Amino acid sequence: MSFIVAIDGPAAAGKGTISKVVARHFGFVHLDTGLLYRAVGLKMLDGTDAISAAKALGATDLDADGLRTPEVAQAASKVAVIPDVRTALVDFQRSFAQHSNGAVLDGRDIGTVICPDADIKLFITASPEVRASRRFAELTASGHDTTPDQVLADVKARDARDSQRDVAPLKPAADAVLIDTSDMSIEAAVEAAITAVQHKREQGR
């Protein structure tokens, strides 16, 4: 019987790490839905029409090199506001969510649009400054030449695009469990998420 965990939140809040650990803890499959938009964004940067790229997207595209660069992250945010791109990727995500062993999907509209009937919804967030600091550390560790101010500006610009877009804006579902990781260790945040999911599973027994 499937069990769907929807995890949403802005960039660098910790939802990716939390989602992977939650999936591993419960033996669920995991999908980072942001990779779908990054893959489309990468193809757009290479000259492919975004809508055509979304319609032709396959699982192997999620393993492409360069999906984690700042340029692709910004491109992903831009293609995500295109309604036809989002429509093309909905079926992929909803099909994945029905995995018989249970599934964790993380993104920005999982609990509100993709899986509004998910068994549990989590919204992982943190202040823009904290998220920018984390992102800056990641980028510099991987050799990217940037500044803290530039990263903070990029985080705020992406937040604005994601939360203000007309289609599937970033926002917590009304029944989501909110986890603010601004002052939490990743271990504490993971534990809070696992506890919330376990409680929900026990309620359903």
Q: What is the C-alpha to C-alpha distance for residues 105 and 95, in angstroms, rounded to an integer?
A: 11
DSSP state of 191: H
Do the Cβ atoms of 36 and 168 come closer than 8 Å? Answer: no
Structure-model confidence comparison of residues 8 and 70, the more confident one: 8
Q: Cβ atoms within 10 A of the Cβ of 49, count?
A: 12
**How do the domains of the chain map onto residue ranges?**
4-189
Annotated binding residues, written as ranges, equal 9-17
Would the pLDDT of 204 be above 80? no
Q: Which amino acid is at 98?
A: Q
Per CATH, the number for 4-189 is 3.40.50.300
Contact 111, 4 (CB under 8 A): no
Could you tell me the pTM of the whole model?
0.88
Mind listing the pLDDT tens digit for each residue in 179-199?
Answer: 999 999 999 999 999 999 999
Give pLDDT, residue 1. 66
By three-state DSSP, how is residue 65 classified? coil
Mean of per-residue pLDDT scores for the chain = 93
Count of CB atoms within 10 A of residue 130's CB? 19
Where does the pLDDT of residue 58 fall: very low under 50, low under 70, confident under 90, or very high at 90 and above? confident
| Residue 93 CA, distance from chain mean position | 12
Please give the annotated binding residues for ATP, written as ranges: 9-17
Instruction: Please tell me which residue, 127 or 142, carries the higher pLDDT value.
Output: 127
Residue whose pair of structure tokens reads 């290479």 in the numeric block: 46
**How would you class 101 by CB atoms within 10 Å of its CB: exposed for 0-12, middle for 13-18, buried for 19 or more?**
exposed
Does residue 55 have a pLDDT over 90?
Answer: yes
Provide the pLDDT for residue 205: 58
